[in-house]
Structure 1
Amino acid sequence: MSDHKQNPLSREMKTHAMILGSFVAIFWVTELLDMSIFRGRLDRFGIIPHSLVGLRGILFAPFLHGNLAHLIGNTIPFVVLGWLVMLQETSDFWIVTFLTMIIGGFGVWFFGAPGSVHIGASILIFGYLGFLLLRGYFQRNFASICLSVIVGVLYGGLVFGVLPGRPGISWQGHLFGFLGGVVAAKLITNEKRFYS
């Protein structure tokens, strides 16, 4: 009997670990290189609102962090929420990540303060949060509702991060990342209804 038939759950978990581990490795290697070699100069590749060159940050910003504390603070919620996004289908992670980067990134670019630079994986974290909290509402099945409730209990307090608060924190990234996750929850639900 093949390994695929024996351990489908084990194979799926290895895939999840590989995907999340790859993202985290990129986060950490990039920040360590930025600290040791580039002296923080990589941060300029973040989202710079209203600047054409700042559009490149839509792709790069989630992989850049201001310092080790910023990176450490983002790593655990990224892994936990990212894994929860994958629980029903691994492909959901890629859809939510893509839509969050695009919607969140353009939202920051349009509404962020001119001359500011927005970086950090929190745009993805809030996208995953939005997806997980609203998935139960859109899909209305027991598993999705339970997951939404669990995430609400564990991470619901993060929602206040979408409001203007401490200086130096990109509440725009949090808000539009969250909205990107909500859009992903709605689109994935519609797609599953269409094909079911």
Structure 2
Amino acid sequence: MTGTPGTSPEESRPEEKLAMTSYTPPVGQEQPRRSRPLWLRSLITTACIVAALFVIELIDAATRYDLDQNGIEPRQVDGLDGILWAPMLHADWEHLLANLMPGAVLCFLVLMTRRFLVVTGIIWVISGVGVWLFAAPYSVTVGASGIIFGWLTFLIVRGLFNRDLWQILGGVVLFLIYGSILWGVLPTNPIVSWQAHLFGAIAGVLAAWFLASRDRKQKQPTATPGVAS
């Protein structure tokens, strides 16, 4: 053992004490990764959805819009599967671009609520079924506008169901910006599917109510059975 009398080996080698503060993880051990912020993940997801719609429209145009025949055919059993495909198809580029302008913004905002899959699923099904039941016979309905109307009404009313002041204020702002498009729930244009708009809007309200009710039930404390003495 070396060192100055009256001192420990550790005290005689300060450089070793400093070296002990560093750490090299074993080979193969992964370092924890910092997750991306919610806004960035929402932005990336929105961009991917927009890109996918452009690719689908490119394929549709290349096939002389044959893909549009996979839309919703009212009250036809063969047209039921159109409920799955219709929101991803558009009649032409003008139709797609008209939907993307508000759609991308609303998609991003719904993603920020962390409820995107549930909300979109509810709207997708209800708006599609509404079109299948009530649209004009011998028609084929395509387009994402039913989803967009549902996203809008969900964002407008969710604060009322959640009793959240900031969400209510956000809903008011959205209504002032996009509220005029809600006139689309009325049958004013024969080539526009007001049924998709109407049932999409209804579905957005139902989604907001359902999620708020579920959240309140989950927050309610459960009584623990007492132990007899």
What's 2:136 paired with? 113
What's 1:78 paired with? 103
Measured after TM superposition, the shift of residue 188 of structure 1 is 0.7
Point out the structure with max Rg over C-alpha. Answer: 2
Q: How many residues align structurally?
A: 189
Measured after TM superposition, the shift of residue 95 of structure 1 is 1.0
What's 2:88 paired with? 63
Question: Quick check: 1:133 aligned with 2:156?
Answer: yes
What is the CA–CA distance in structure 2 between the aligned matches of 1:20 and 1:195, rounded to whole Å? 29
Question: Quick check: 1:150 aligned with 2:173?
Answer: yes
* Equivalent of 1:43 in 64, 68, 71: 68
What's 1:192 paired with? 215
The residue identity in structure 1 corresponding to 2:55 is V
The residue identity in structure 2 corresponding to 1:56 is D
Measured after TM superposition, the shift of residue 18 of structure 1 is 2.6
What is the CA–CA distance in structure 2 between the aligned matches of 1:165 and 1:70, rounded to whole Å? 17
1:82-121 CA-partner distances (Å, limit 9, x unpaired): 112222x32x111111001100000110011111111101
What is the CA–CA distance in structure 1 between the aligned matches of 2:152 and 2:167, rounded to whole Å? 13
Instruction: Tell me the TM-score normalized by structure 2.
Output: 0.79
Could you tell me which runs of 5 or more consecutive residues in structure 2 were left unpaired when the two chains were aligned: 1-30, 220-229
Alpha carbon RMSD of aligned pairs, Å? Answer: 1.5
Q: How many percent identity over aligned positions?
A: 40
Could you tell me which runs of 5 or more consecutive residues in structure 1 were left unpaired when the two chains were aligned: none
Measured after TM superposition, the shift of residue 2 of structure 1 is 5.5
User: Which gives a bigger RCO, structure 1 or 2 (Cα 8 Å, sep 6+)?
Assistant: 1
Which segment is superposed worse, 135-144 or 178-187? 135-144
**Structure with more of its chain in helix, by fraction:** 1
